[in-house]
Amino acid sequence: MIRAEILGTGGYVPARVVPNAHFDYLVDDADQWIHSRTGIRERRFAAAEEATSDLATNAALLALENGDVDPLELDCIIVATSTPDMILPATACMVQKNIGAAKAFAFDMNAVCSSFIYGVEVADNLIRSGKYRKVLLIGADTYSKILDYDDKGTAPLFGDGAGALILGAGLSGKGIQHTVMQSDGNGWELIQVPSSGSRKPISAESIAAKENTFKMAGKSVFSFATDVIPRIISDLAERGGVKPEEIDHIIPHQANVRIIDFISKKTGIPKEKFLLNLDRYGNTAAGSVGLALDENRRNGVIKSGDLVLMMGFGGGLSWGGVLLRA
């Protein structure tokens, strides 16, 4: 059976470090307030001239180097993002130009913070079809560009970053084993940028009302996440014929350490199995899972043969998970 195996990974964050103290204007002792509620200590913000395609390009180049893959070998490039450089054309086409992948077709996909996991599903199926052999997937977001910096409930949560993954056709039995994907459009209003498209085009009035910035119903999203994540874990373990405790590592979407604490207690899976970089990068949206995957492959935490579960959840509402053999 053809499986999509990991050929290389890459991760990139902007140079600018933004500590919690940056938000002292919003709340007294912002560092303690933010860290106690989220687990975040700092995050990275893109420079004024940096866009999502720049972060994605850097992560892609590192993945190509890591996997010793020639850009001309790529059949497809997927950029998973909800903060594209512009509404059109696809950010993936800009990345294609930047890395010299002239033979690939390129497109964007948006499932908000689930985008990278959804992208793995698409890339896996492209490869399993037998028609394509090498797919570059990049999860990248620059939420610093769309935040309302007067909203203490959202502004301190996010950072910018990109994680890249190259999948290739293989017969070793490693790679993507099983996936689960789901959406519930009944919850679409919980996470949104109200004035950003054809429903309510950006205008002077919408900008004045800050409707062109990110909005989230935090308590409802917390309840949603703590409901679906245990189901992702149990569903994938069952499909893989393993017990949850037999999974070596879990890479969750890096949203809030309280969510991870809750899931660890609910499932009985030790918190040490959850690979986190939330304290250093905040919530990097579609970048978070790919960043953590790359970091832990490079530092040797994830070893060849390890069973790894990756999962995401976000706007849409959307959620999904991937079980892979490293």
Catalytically annotated residues: 113, 253, 283
Q: Are 53 and 91 in contact (CB under 8 A)?
A: yes
User: CA-to-CA distance for 24 and 26, rounded, in angstroms?
Assistant: 5
Q: Which residues contact 6 (CB under 8 A, 6 or more apart)?
A: 165, 166, 167, 174, 175, 297, 324, 326
Residue type at 246 in one-letter notation: E
What CA–CA distances, in Å, run from 198 to 131, 147, 193, 202, 203? 35, 20, 12, 9, 12
Report the 3 state secondary structure along 60-124: HHHHHHHHCCCHHHCCEEEEECCCCCCCCCCHHHHHHHHHCCCCCEEEEECCHHHHHHHHHHHHH
Q: Are 287 and 83 in contact (CB under 8 A)?
A: no
Question: How many residues are present in the chain?
Answer: 326
